[in-house]
Structure 1
Amino acid sequence: MLSRPNRITRGADYKTVVRRGARCAGAHTVTYVKSSDETRVPRFGFIVSKQVGSAVVRNTVRRRLKAVCSAELTGVRAGSDIVIRALPSAATADYAALHAEVARCLARRAA
């Protein structure tokens, strides 16, 4: 699970990362990465809209994405802000597919 310092909590921060960050698209997610020279821990945010499914499905997808990011945390550059937007196909994707896709994008943009 991601600790409080590793989460993006303000809406303005989400907006900045999505508008100014580097984009990496996959079949189930779109990952936005904005790097800075700050010496803080990397932060993650998740966008899972109602198009993904019911509340139960959205929360399942969000929990899977949080687990993936927690596993990949050590390979992410300090000071990075990452926002992951789940696409509707993420509802039917298994954990391994989500992990592979997010890990690929993080390795390309935030390593």
Structure 2
Amino acid sequence: MEKTYRLAKREDFNKVYRYGKSMANHQFVLYYLAQPKLEQFRLGISVSKKVGNAVVRNRLRRMIKEIIRLNKDRMTDHYDYILIARKPAADMDYAQMEKSIFHVIRKASLNKRNELIKK
């Protein structure tokens, strides 16, 4: 994932947690906050130690980044996102994970296709 799409600073994470909204399913929690000044979206990923060891956590992070990288045209711009992986996500394959991530994004009404339907 390119650097411009990353949410990396602690204060940015705290701002999204404090002022943003959240939506969840069994595998993921999505926090999101509108950022009208941004050209595109930014994504932060959080995987707790409860999910597994470092190998499992890094594998999850890499898979999530790749899913978002390949589907960034489906993400609504001008938002900061934080995607938190829960324990059941560790047992998922790529296709299941992709479906689950976009389920939580659709649930939050942040899918670009939903945005086009509203207009």
The residue number in structure 2 matching 1:58 is 57
Higher Cα Rg: structure 1 or 2?
2
Percent of residue pairs identical: 27
Q: CA deviation at 1:104?
A: 2.0
Change (3 A) 1:39 1:12: closer
Does the Cα contact within 8 Å between 2:41 and 2:79 map onto a contact in 1? yes
Distance of 2:64 and 2:109 partners within structure 1:
17
Gaps of 5+ in 2: 112-119
TM-score by length of 1: 0.89
Distance of 2:33 and 2:39 partners within structure 1:
13
RMSD across aligned positions (CA): 1.4
Gaps of 5+ in 1: none
- Letter of the structure 1 residue corresponding to residue 32 of structure 2: V
Does the Cα contact within 8 Å between 1:36 and 1:79 map onto a contact in 2? yes
The residue number in structure 2 matching 1:109 is 109
Distance of 1:98 and 1:20 partners within structure 2:
27
TM-score by length of 2: 0.84
The residue number in structure 2 matching 1:92 is 91
- The number of equivalent residue pairs is 110
Q: CA deviation at 1:22?
A: 2.1
